[in-house]
Amino acid sequence: MLRKLMRFERVLLAVALCLPLLAACASTKDDDYVERPAEEIYNSGIKKFNERNYTSAAKEFDEVDRQHPYSEWALRAQLMGAYSYYQGLNYKEALKALENFIQENPGYKDVGYAYYLRALCYYEQIVDITRDQQTTNFALEALRDVTTRFPDTEYAHDAQLKIDLALGQLAGHEMDIGRYYERHGIYQAAINRYQVVVKNYQTTGQAPEALHRMVECYLALGLTDEAKRAAAVLGYNYPNNPWYRKAYALLVKDGAAPAGDEDGWLHRQVKAVF
Give percent of the chain above pLDDT 90. Answer: 77
- Asked if 85 and 58 touch (Cβ cutoff 8 Å), the reply is yes
Residue 54 lies in a domain: yes
Q: Give the integer Cα–Cα distance in Å for 231 and 247.
A: 6
pLDDT tens sequence across 204-235: 999 999 999 999 999 999 999 999 999 999 99
What's the rounded mean pLDDT across residues 78-107? 96
Q: Is the pLDDT of residue 21 over 50?
A: no
Question: How many of the other CB atoms lie within 10 Å of CB of 205?
Answer: 14
Residue 264 lies in a domain: yes
Of 47, 69, 89, the last residue of a domain is 89
pLDDT, residue 33, reads 65
**Which of 85, 73, 88, 71 has its CA nearest to residue 114?**
85
Quick check: is 265 in a domain?
yes
Length of the chain: 274
Domain presence at residue 262: yes
pLDDT at residue 264 above 60? Answer: yes
- Domain tally, the chain: 2
* Structural domain for 250, as ranges: 222-274
C-alpha torsion sign, points 121, 124, 127, 133: positive
Better-scored residue on pLDDT, 129 or 22: 129
Alpha carbon distance 153, 115 (integer Å): 12
Task: List, for residues 161-198, the tens digit of each pLDDT value.
Answer: 999 999 999 999 999 999 999 999 999 999 999 999 99
26 domain residue, yes or no: no
The verdict on residue 174 lying in a domain is no
Determine, yes or no, domain membership for 190: no
Answer yes or no: is 149 within a domain.
Answer: no
Q: Can you count the helices (H) and strands (E) in the chain?
A: 13, 0
Tens-digit pLDDT profile for residues 66-92: 999 998 899 999 999 999 999 999 999
